Amino acid sequence: MLTAIYPGSFDPVTNGHLDVIGRASRLADRLVVGVLLNSNKNPLFPIEERVEMTREAVKNYSNIEVTSFDGLLVEFAERESAQIIVRGIRAISDYEFELQMALMNRRLKPNLETVFLMASEQYSFVSSRIIKEVARLGGDIGGLVPPSVESHLRARFQRS
């Protein structure tokens, strides 16, 4: 049985992430989406809310689990008995950091392979950071995040 993990901050999950998740779920028997607890990016949403939004977005897949993790990614992979780490690549600019992480993770756990999936070009400009900025400033993010994430963002940035 092939288990893959798809780690990230998911602050919040976007349709770009979901595109990668859909592709990965067809490649692995079991896909575990790992939401990083202590992201040094100072997340907008607490871990429970990030997990809840991601679970809601993948509820129609029978082979996907969503869970939080803390500490080293390779240790999380070990706990989940995963053989593969999945990461999405949007553009060349993603490559340098992804290569660094993949090589460090390989050094830490040589049998764990990182597999890169290309996100669909329609989401190549979408990132959680840019989504939060546009939502905060009242711009339209429809079609770029799942509907439940849109409501969470609206609630978060509602001006009184």
Considering the complex, state which of residue 8 and residue 146 has its C-beta at the smaller distance from ligand PNS.
8
Complex with ligand PNS: residue 46 or 158, whichever CB lies closer = 46
The answer to whether 36 contacts ligand PNS (rule: CB under 6 A) is: yes
Please select the residue that binds ligand PNS; options are 104, 118, 129, 154, rule is CB under 6 A: 104
Q: What angle is formed at CA 61 by the lines to CA 60 and CA 66, rounded to 5 degrees? A: 105
Give the number of other CB atoms < 10 A from CB of residue 36. 21
Chain-centroid distance of CA 23 in Å reads 13
| Residues 127, 15: Cα–Cα separation, whole Å | 9
SS3 of the chain: helix, strand, coil, percent, to 5: 45, 20, 35
Task: Return the range that interacts with ligand PNS (CB under 6 A); candidates 1-9, 21-29, 56-64, 141-149.
Answer: 1-9
37, 89, 101, 134: which one contacts ligand PNS (CB under 6 A)?
Answer: 101
Q: Report the residue from 9, 14, 25, 54 that binds ligand PNS according to the rule CB under 6 A.
A: 9
CA distance 111 to 118: 23
Catalytic (active site) residue 9: no
Amino acid identity of 91?
A
For ligand PNS, the closer CB: 85 or 153? 85
Q: How far is the CB of 19 from ligand PNS (least distance, A)?
A: 14
88 contacts ligand PNS (rule: CB under 6 A): no
**Residue 55, both tokens:** 């679970």
